[in-house]
Amino acid sequence: MIHTSYWRPRVYPYNGDVTPAQIDRLQDITASITLNREKIREIGRDGTVSWRKRIPSTRVTLRQNEYGEIEFWQKLANMPSNDYEITLADFKTAMVDICGYKTDDSGTFEGTVWYPKLRTSGFGINIGDPQAMIERTFDLVGEDEIILQGDNQYFMYKKFTAVGGSNETFTVIPEPTLDPDVSGADGYFLRVLRVSGGTTTELTYTTDYTYNPITYVLTVLSTTAADVIKVYYSSDDYLSGQTVFTNNDTDAGGISADCASIFLYVAADNYVYRLQSVGIDVSFDRSDYYEIGNKEVVSRGIRENTVRVTLGRMVEAYTIEEVLRGQVADYGKLNPREFGSANTLRVKVYGNNTKNTFNIGYKMTNLAPVTLDEGVPLNDYNTRTTTLEGEDLTISSVEATIDA
């Protein structure tokens, strides 16, 4: 059996020259595959004639402890490690492969589960209560789940940098294993990508590249200096001297609610007191299109973003309402009809509860209040929930970016 201690997750960004990474502090991952098969019947016949195999739908959901690092956000957005500002627009065409490398209790490697070309359909940041751990959740969508086992058990990735020219060669070691569903040299690679001038292109066998399975040499027919060639394949062995997962004993195991500060801004930042919960939910109305004669998605984008913020608190003062109204403390009349619709919320996460080391922040702008709920329970304290909605969110590990 495969224990979660031996299910090692990694993420492989599709676009750009972005390095793969292990997924740290992952608490839960679930996958649901709908095969979308349709019965075909006919008049005059009892029973099914056949099944129509349509393109499957795959949904992968991850839950991760907030640990103050921006790395996984960068991978999901296909952003390089030196880019510390991510906006929702960066998720439009970004894709990732997520792999789980599986070893059983006896130490035998059993294979890899591979979810290719996943796109982010939404994510959330949640602080459930004042003593909770801060959590991130991610919803990803794709078309496939592929199990690699036996001689194809390892999902492999190699990167080469071209010097430029015709018929440039690259030696791929450890050597690829032939896809058992494909005959011929075109079955040795799961995918070959070229990153040139910031554009990522998937190469076609014979048209763009060839491969010699005897010498393990990949030949790309045309390259430009500094092109990055990204090669994905399966093999019966992993990279020499490397492991798929290394324990991260440097970053925090998780960050708790007392290490966060919440500010609501109209004309100035106002620290929000007595908060009991904070929920940030982002959803993308994706526009991923197919074409006749092709089984793959050919165009990807996002029509609309929705950012929903829910603030739950004990009622001691009406600071939130005063800020939304654009008025000073103890303003005599607070009518929700007069609330502004250009509010900014900043969630700052620090390394500890002294809040002297900024780790990561989330900034939402142009938020409009949409609902106000009040609870007056028997023999308990008055509660209030405020929900705001907008379309913009910025993630950054630079405090000045969140403050801007």
Instruction: Provide the pLDDT confidence category of residue 185 given band limits of 50, 70 and 90.
Output: confident
Query: Is a pLDDT exceeding 90 seen at residue 192?
Result: yes
In whole angstroms, give the CA distance from residue 73 to residue 90.
10
255-266: pLDDT as tens digits: 999 999 999 997
Predicted confidence at residue 296, as pLDDT, reads 77
The residues spanned by each domain of the chain are 154-235, 257-403
Predicted confidence at residue 326, as pLDDT, reads 84
Give 3-state DSSP helix, strand, coil % of the chain, rounded to 5: 10, 50, 40
- Higher pLDDT: 384 or 10? It is 10
- Higher pLDDT: 315 or 103? It is 103
Predicted confidence at residue 289, as pLDDT, reads 82
104-108, 134-138, 308-312, 399-403: segment of lowest average pLDDT: 104-108
Query: Is a pLDDT exceeding 80 seen at residue 7?
Result: yes
Instruction: Provide the pLDDT confidence category of residue 328 given band limits of 50, 70 and 90.
Output: confident
Predicted confidence at residue 266, as pLDDT, reads 79
Beta strands 217-223; 228-235: pairing state? unpaired
Instruction: Provide the pLDDT confidence category of residue 131 given band limits of 50, 70 and 90.
Output: very high
User: Which candidate, 3, 11, 2, places its Cα nearest to that of 245?
Assistant: 11
Query: Is a pLDDT exceeding 90 seen at residue 267?
Result: no
Query: Is a pLDDT exceeding 80 seen at residue 88?
Result: yes
Instruction: Provide the pLDDT confidence category of residue 112 given band limits of 50, 70 and 90.
Output: very high
In whole angstroms, give the CA distance from residue 43 to residue 341.
58
Query: Is a pLDDT exceeding 90 seen at residue 375?
Result: no
265 strand-pairing partners: 269, 344
Q: Hey, what amino acid is at 116? A: P
Helix (H, G, I), strand (E, B) or coil at 20: coil
282-304: pLDDT as tens digits: 999 998 788 888 877 778 889 99
Evaluate whether 22 touches 245 at the Cβ level (below 8 Å): yes
27-37: pLDDT as tens digits: 999 999 999 99
What is 257-270 written as a DSSP string? GGGEEEEEESSSEE
30-66: pLDDT as tens digits: 999 999 999 999 999 999 999 999 889 999 999 999 9
- What kind of architecture, by CATH, is found in domain 257-403? Roll (2.30)
Query: Is a pLDDT exceeding 80 seen at residue 169?
Result: yes
What's the Cα-to-Cα distance from 31 to each of 36, 58, 60, 144, 282, rounded to whole Å? 15, 7, 4, 10, 20
Evaluate whether 259 touches 348 at the Cβ level (below 8 Å): no
Percent of the chain with pLDDT over 70: 100
Predicted confidence at residue 1, as pLDDT, reads 81
- Average pLDDT for the chain: 94
Instruction: Provide the pLDDT confidence category of residue 70 given band limits of 50, 70 and 90.
Output: very high
